[in-house]
Amino acid sequence: MTEAIVRLAARGDGVTASGRFVAGAVPGDTIDDGGALIPGAGRQSPACRHFGPCGGCQLQHVSAALYADFLGERVRSALEAQGLQTALRAPLVSAPHTRRRVALRATRKGRRVTLGYAEAKSHTLIDLGECPVMAPALFALLAPLRRLLGSILPERRTANIQMTLADQGVDVMIDSVAVEGLVAAEALANFGQENRLARLSIDEGFGPLARWEPDRVTVTLGGHAVALPEGAFLQATAEGEAALCRAVGEAVAGASAIADLFAGLGTFTFASGARYAAEGSRASFFALQAATRASNLPITLEHRDLFRKPVFAPELAQFDCVIIDPPRAGAKEQVAELAKSTVARIAYVSCNPATFARDARTLVDGGFTLDWIQPVGQFLWSTHVELVALFLRA
């Protein structure tokens, strides 16, 4: 008796109607009596030679339509677990070769440097020969980085590399290496110059230190150039950032007094016209503060740990709209205060459907209605999904 694959589980496995999980299967496939997979119409050819062993993408074999359905279902199922439902819009998915922020690992054995992502459920590295999600400017640096790491990375040691596409070019940070002496310093400067980097930073265990930075490194957010601290959070694709900003803009339209909580570098602060912003990261706060002062914007900024000290309900009385963009853990403490407040609308940006749904339950129980959700898929072919939701005071 054959079984049909009817859906994709949260981690990307195919699932039959009887609840059987089948790795690598997609809706439309069937499983025969012997357990062999019979491909259906929902499959496509993976875009990368590393697909399968590489842990970077789980769903390259899924058609674009089914992938969009999967992202939407991830949000829907999280809501259902909390007894919630709402209007769920079609997911907006970033295109290939647009990822502007990546984290890689490197190891050296003899003269060979392996640079790439870890294999799924393993510490073994995939030496990247291609990457269809990475922006071309980032991928072009892999070969030069291998050569550089061959001279500064000790034998059988591992380094972490972060690359971010900034306004001035690629910002590279390498940690877990020690670079000492004039010759090594000159090698780093030459590498930065030859590859036209925006910045090259080394973290020897005491925090990142720029070893090449010809100009101040910035990222433009809402039309304002904001200094980009080493390792600071930035939306994964410019396309995804624009989609999130459009949805937030729609959610706050008509509001007269907006607060932006977990503001980061100001992704939504500037775009929304917020008059108050709070951020817990010291580096991000000072970057946001400098950009606000440079543009002479009337925004009150506060360096505040919103987990330990949320903006309390009485303080929120001066705002009719709040934007909240917490990390993956959600914002349990801050949401409890929002539920008690007189705020009329909330634009909630999330990168974790489960913690979002938990917080949504609190807001709904506090008198809000969940009006709509816009899913956004910035991490193409992964199981990761972000969203913007609009809550209105009932």
pLDDT in tens, 13-38: 999 988 999 989 999 999 988 888 89
Instruction: List phi, psi (to 5°) of 293.
Output: -70, -40
What is residue 32's predicted lDDT score, i.e. its pLDDT? 87
Amino acid at 216: R
pLDDT above 90: residue 390: yes
The structure tokens 């036209």 sit at 196
State the first-to-last Cα distance of the chain, in angstroms, to the nearest integer.
51
What does the pLDDT average to over 271-279?
96
**131: its two tokens:** 């990457």
Q: Is 185 exposed, middle or buried (0-12, 13-18, 19+ CB in 10 A)?
A: middle
Residues 6 or more apart in contact with residue 377 via CB below 8 angstroms: 67, 68, 71, 91, 92, 93, 94, 240, 384, 385, 386
Instruction: List phi, psi (to 5°) of 181.
Output: 95, 160
pLDDT in tens, 318-374: 999 999 999 999 999 999 999 999 999 999 999 999 999 999 999 999 999 999 999
From 54, 131, 321, 351, the catalytic residue: 351
Q: What is the DSSP letter of 256?
A: S
Of 115 and 184, the one with more pLDDT: 115
Task: Confirm if 287 and 309 have CB atoms less than 8 A apart.
Answer: no
Catalytic (active site) residue 351: yes
What does the pLDDT average to over 376-392?
97
Distances (CA, A) of 94 to 126, 135, 168, 318, 382: 24, 12, 22, 37, 11
Of 141 and 206, the one with more pLDDT: 141
In DSSP terms, which residues pair with 106 in a beta bridge? 115, 159
Confidence of residue 224 (pLDDT cuts 50, 70, 90): very high
Q: What is the pTM of this model?
A: 0.94
d(CA 316, CA 363): 15
313: how many CB neighbours lie within 10 A of its CB? 15
What is residue 4's predicted lDDT score, i.e. its pLDDT? 93
The percent of residues in the chain predicted with pLDDT above 70, rounded, is 100
d(CA 63, CA 93): 13
pLDDT above 90: residue 172: yes
What does the pLDDT average to over 43-63?
93
193: how many CB neighbours lie within 10 A of its CB? 12
Instruction: Give Cα 376 distance to the centre of its chain.
Output: 10
